[in-house]
């Protein structure tokens, strides 16, 4: 025998080698030796589906009721292997109905057929009256097992005879929940049309929508949203679908949730909004999406921090600058509600870093201004003049890289100012000249003016188109 404790007969049966099986049996090979998993040759024959071998073994006196270590008998193996002929033989010819027992995991043959998605076997066992709606030790029914593995044809077959589609297993999961969790859209749709309740959460209070979100199944999220799913579950605040989509960086899911009117300002246990979470992660794309959705920038978490404070603490300078731009833009918009016209064609609202060609000239000039002309506390003076709040100035200063940080800080503040100037559709270069004069930097203002007339004459295109 081998290290697995398999005999020559095990190998011959496993390979379906009729003449070798015949030879070994005629030489009185033992038919009931179990290998180290408790598998006997009758199990192997049932599993591989070799009817002739099965007949030979039964004739040679093999134990038809032998169980493996996992408590599986020939009927279990035949059901799992989708071997209809062998099932017929065991039940109809040998009358071994008593093989229809649960294995160690509490699964009858019918559950094994469902788990593997064998539709013909499901129908065969149903015909032989061996179907069951009993649960295994984890509380799963055949429908749970088929749904969990995405076997839509098996789910369809089971649903024709299924009474209770919303039964839950030990984890509180319905078949529908498991289908969604596995990302199985077709199964989810079938179970839904059979009357599944989309809003039953599991024991941990996670909903199907949260599961789909966490796994980033965009089409399932959209399908659930189209089914009028309950977005605001009233129980203890766990993470909302929007928080989960942000944490797992599923931008398309975030967009789907927002366009389904998911509240962008919903709070989690730490009283953080999705924006707090995105800011803390430093995720530019997600922050941009949430800012464009017009979320509330003033909300503070349990520690009393706004999203801006969270981002500056995490040293995500790109996100800090985006948040300041957004705060300034929305404040300005509120102030000028009546007089705002739509932004000029082609310009879309964005809070990201500006890399556009149109502003290249003026950005280069602002860089020179910040890195070569402004002294240590000059930029703060300008920022105050431009109505940056103390919190905004502090947030920029927080990304400290040494005593020359003020140059980088100044450049960031100038770019944030430029974003606002462009949003207000003024001519930034002219505006900057006036502002520098007003702040008491006449020689800098003069440089800007010379620069402006130079670029104006060299190209008829204005600095900012």
User: Which domains does the chain carry?
Assistant: 263-340 (1.25.40.20), 353-458 (1.10.533.10)
Q: What is the pLDDT of residue 1?
A: 62
pTM assigned to the model: 0.72
CA gap 88, 84 in Å, rounded: 6
pLDDT for residue 463: 45
pLDDT of residue 459: 47
pLDDT of residue 226: 85
End-to-end CA distance of the chain: 85
Q: Which helix (H) or strand (E) holds 378?
A: helix 378-385
> How far apart (Å, rounded) are the C-alpha atoms in residues 205 and 244?
14
Q: Which residues contact 422 (CB under 8 A, 6 or more apart)?
A: 347, 359, 428, 464
- Of 38-42, 220-224, 434-438, the one with minimum mean pLDDT is 434-438
Q: Where are the alpha helices (DSSP H) in 60-184?
A: 74-80, 84-88, 109-116, 119-127, 142-148, 152-159, 175-181
| 247: Cα separation from own chain's centroid | 9
- Does residue 150 have a pLDDT over 60? yes
Rg (CA), the chain: 35
Question: Would you tell me the crossing angle of helices 360-368 and 442-458 to the nearest 10 degrees?
Answer: 150
Band (pLDDT 50/70/90 cuts) for residue 114 is very high
What are the start-end ranges of the E strands in 48-134?
A: none
By residue count, the chain amounts to: 465
* pLDDT surpassing 90 at residue 176: yes
DSSP per-residue letters across 327-368: HHHHHHHHHTGGGPPPPPTT-----SPP--STTHHHHHHHHH
Rounded average pLDDT over 98-124: 98
- Is residue 431 within 8 A of residue 397, CB to CB? The reply is no
């Amino acid at each position: 025998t081998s290290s697995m404790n398999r005999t020559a007969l095990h190998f011959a049966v496993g390979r379906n080698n009729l003449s070798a099986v015949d030879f070994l049996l005629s030489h009185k090979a033992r038919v009931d030796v179990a290998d180290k998993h408790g598998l006997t040759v009758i199990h192997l024959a049932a599993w591989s589906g070799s009817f002739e071998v099965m007949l030979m073994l039964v004739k040679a006196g093999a134990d038809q009721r032998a169980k493996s270590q996992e408590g599986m008998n020939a009927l279990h193996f035949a059901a799992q292997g989708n071997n209809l002929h062998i099932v017929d033989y065991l039940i109809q010819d040998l009358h071994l109905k008593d093989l229809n027992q649960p294995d160690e995991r509490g699964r009858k043959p019918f559950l094994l057929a469902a788990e593997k998605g064998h539709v013909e076997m499901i129908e065969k066992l149903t015909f032989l009256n061996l179907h069951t709606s009993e649960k295994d030790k984890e509380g799963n029914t055949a429908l749970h097992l088929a749904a969990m593995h995405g076997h839509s044809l098996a789910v369809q077959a089971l649903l024709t005879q299924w009474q209770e589609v919303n039964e839950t297993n030990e984890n509180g999961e319905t078949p529908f929940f498991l289908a969604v969790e596995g990302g199985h859209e077709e199964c989810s749709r079938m179970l839904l049309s059979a009357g599944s309740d989309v809003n039953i959460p599991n024991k941990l209070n996670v909903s199907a929508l949260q599961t789909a979100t966490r796994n980033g199944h965009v089409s399932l999220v959209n399908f659930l949203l189209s089914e009028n799913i309950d977005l605001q579950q009233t129980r203890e605040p766990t993470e909302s679908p929007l928080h989960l989509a942000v944490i797992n960086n599923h931008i398309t899911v975030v967009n789907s949730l927002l366009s389904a009117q998911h509240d962008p300002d919903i709070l989690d246990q730490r009283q953080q909004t999705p924006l707090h979470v995105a800011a803390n992660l430093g995720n530019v794309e997600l922050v941009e999406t949430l800012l464009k959705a017009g979320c509330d920038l003033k909300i503070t978490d349990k520690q009393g921090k706004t999203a801006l404070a969270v981002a500056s603490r995490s040293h995500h300078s790109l996100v800090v600058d985006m948040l300041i731009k957004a705060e300034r833009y929305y404040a300005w918009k509120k102030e000028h509600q009546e007089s705002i016209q739509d932004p000029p064609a082609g310009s879309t609202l964005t809070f990201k870093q500006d890399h556009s060609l149109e502003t290249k000239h003026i950005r280069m000039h602002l860089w020179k201004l910040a890195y070569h002309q402004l002294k240590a506390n000059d930029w703060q003076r300008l920022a105050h003049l431009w109505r940056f709040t103390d919190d905004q100035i502090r947030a920029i200063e927080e990304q400290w890289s040494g005593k020359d940080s003020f140059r980088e800080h100044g450049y960031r503040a100038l770019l944030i100012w430029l974003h606002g100037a462009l949003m207000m559709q003024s001519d930034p270069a002219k505006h900057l000249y006036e502002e520098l004069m007003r702040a008491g930097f006449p020689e800098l203002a003069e440089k800007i003016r010379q620069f402006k007339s130079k670029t104006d004459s060299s190209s008829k295109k204005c600095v900012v188109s």
